[in-house]
Structure 1
Amino acid sequence: MIRPSKHAHPDLTVMSVATVILERLKTKRTETYADLVILVEKRTKNAKTLFLPALNLLFMLGLIRYLPKADRFEYLVQS
């Protein structure tokens, strides 16, 4: 689910996990897939299933891109 409903825990939504990923990428600019998974697991238990949908959301919004040779995600600066 993208938006939380009144029955959903706020930390267990795609938007929440996407926010965690985006905060890290804004500070570090690039990060590996494994490090992002570990970060999400530390921040919110049971949120690993929301990791890929959160990445997909950030890709669709044009906020991140994947660098296959380095196996890293990069934050795209919005101007």
Structure 2
Amino acid sequence: MLTPRKHLNLDVSVLRIAAIMLRELKKRGVMEFERLRGIVIRRVGGDGEITFLPALSFLYLMGKIEYHAKNDVIEYRAN
């Protein structure tokens, strides 16, 4: 659940990581999984790696991205 807590670091929250991912995917349209992960870690730091998969799942559930396993790429879906 996305409930804020007293000690939540907003810099590595699921919503911030998802926003970073969406910004990069909007620019490029399609991006390799590892490249997107690397961008998130560079922008946020090591803690971004922990939040990367939950943010990716959040975007998928919201219908904003599509994962293509054959090429291991993530595609931005404009709704």
Both proteins in one fold, TM over 0.5 = yes
What are the ranges of 5 or more consecutive residues in structure 1 without an aligned counterpart? none
User: Is 2:24 the counterpart of 1:20?
Assistant: no
For these two proteins, the number of residue pairs brought into alignment is: 78
Structure 1 CA distance for aligned equivalents of residues 3 and 13 of structure 2 = 7
| Greater per-residue helix proportion | 2
> TM-score with structure 1 length normalisation?
0.89
Please say if residues 3 and 14 of structure 1, whose CA atoms lie closer than 8 Å, have aligned partners that are also in contact. no
CA drift of 1:8 comes to 1.6
User: Is 2:15 the counterpart of 1:50?
Assistant: no
Q: Report percent identity of matched pairs.
A: 33
Question: Which AA in structure 1 matches 2:53?
Answer: L
Deviations along 1:3-41, one digit per CA (max 9) or x if unpaired, are: 544432211100111111111001100000100110011
Please say if residues 66 and 74 of structure 1, whose CA atoms lie closer than 8 Å, have aligned partners that are also in contact. yes
Which residue in the other structure is 1:11 paired with? Answer: 11
CA drift of 1:76 comes to 0.5
Structure 1 CA distance for aligned equivalents of residues 28 and 4 of structure 2 = 28
Please say if residues 3 and 15 of structure 1, whose CA atoms lie closer than 8 Å, have aligned partners that are also in contact. no
Structure 2 CA distance for aligned equivalents of residues 12 and 68 of structure 1 = 26
> TM-score with structure 2 length normalisation?
0.89
